[in-house]
Structure 1
Amino acid sequence: MFKWVSRWVVWLFLLVSAQAFAINAQDPYSLVKDAAGKTFLRLEQDAPQVKKDPNYLRTIVREELMPYVDNKFAAYKVIGAELKNTTPEQRDRFVKAFTDYIVATYADALGKYDKQTIQVESSQPVDDKKEVSVKVTVIDPSKPEINVVFQLRKNSRTGEWKVFDMVAEGVSLLSSKQSELGGSIRQKGIDSVSSMLEQHNLKPATLQSKQS
Structure 2
Amino acid sequence: MKGWLSKIFLLFSVFFAIQSMQSAMAAEDPNVLTEKIAHNLFKDIQAHKAEIQSNPNILKSIVRKDLMPYANTRVILIATLGSDFRTLTDEQKEKAFSAFDKYVEAMYAHLVAVYVDSADLQVQTRKLSGDRFESVGVHLTHEKAKNFYFYWRKNPKTNQWFIYDLGLDGAKLLALLSPDNSVVLRTQGFDAFIAKLSRISEQNVNPKAYLVLYNNTKQK
Q: Report if aligned partners of 2:103, 2:201 keep a CA contact under 8 Å in 1.
A: yes
CA distance in structure 2 between the aligned counterparts of 1:150 and 1:205, rounded to whole angstroms: 20
Unmatched tracts of structure 1, length 5 or more: 1-22
- Corresponding residue of 1:152: 152
Q: Is structure 2 residue 206 aligned with structure 1 residue 203?
A: no
Written as runs of structure 1 = structure 2, the 5 A alignment for 1:1-212 is 26-112=28-114, 113-122=116-125, 129-141=131-143, 143=144, 146-206=146-206
CA distance in structure 1 between the aligned counterparts of 2:58 and 2:77, rounded to whole angstroms: 24
CA distance in structure 1 between the aligned counterparts of 2:206 and 2:125, rounded to whole angstroms: 34
CA distance in structure 2 between the aligned counterparts of 1:122 and 1:173, rounded to whole angstroms: 19
Moved segments of 4+, more than 4 Å: none
1:148/1:51 Cα in 2 relative to 1: closer, same or farther (>3 Å)? closer
Q: Report if aligned partners of 2:154, 2:162 keep a CA contact under 8 Å in 1.
A: yes
CA distance in structure 1 between the aligned counterparts of 2:73 and 2:126, rounded to whole angstroms: 24
1:138/1:200 Cα in 2 relative to 1: closer, same or farther (>3 Å)? same
CA distance in structure 1 between the aligned counterparts of 2:101 and 2:39, rounded to whole angstroms: 22
- Which structure shows the bigger proportion of residues in helix conformation? 2
Q: RMSD value over aligned CA atoms?
A: 2.6
CA distance in structure 2 between the aligned counterparts of 1:184 and 1:54, rounded to whole angstroms: 28
1:66/1:200 Cα in 2 relative to 1: closer, same or farther (>3 Å)? same
Higher relative contact order (CA 8 A, sep 6+): 1
TM-score, normalized by length of structure 1? 0.75
Tell me the number of residue pairs that the alignment of Structure 1 and Structure 2 aligns. 183
1:139/1:52 Cα in 2 relative to 1: closer, same or farther (>3 Å)? same
CA distance in structure 1 between the aligned counterparts of 2:169 and 2:40, rounded to whole angstroms: 24
Task: Provide the identity percentage.
Answer: 26
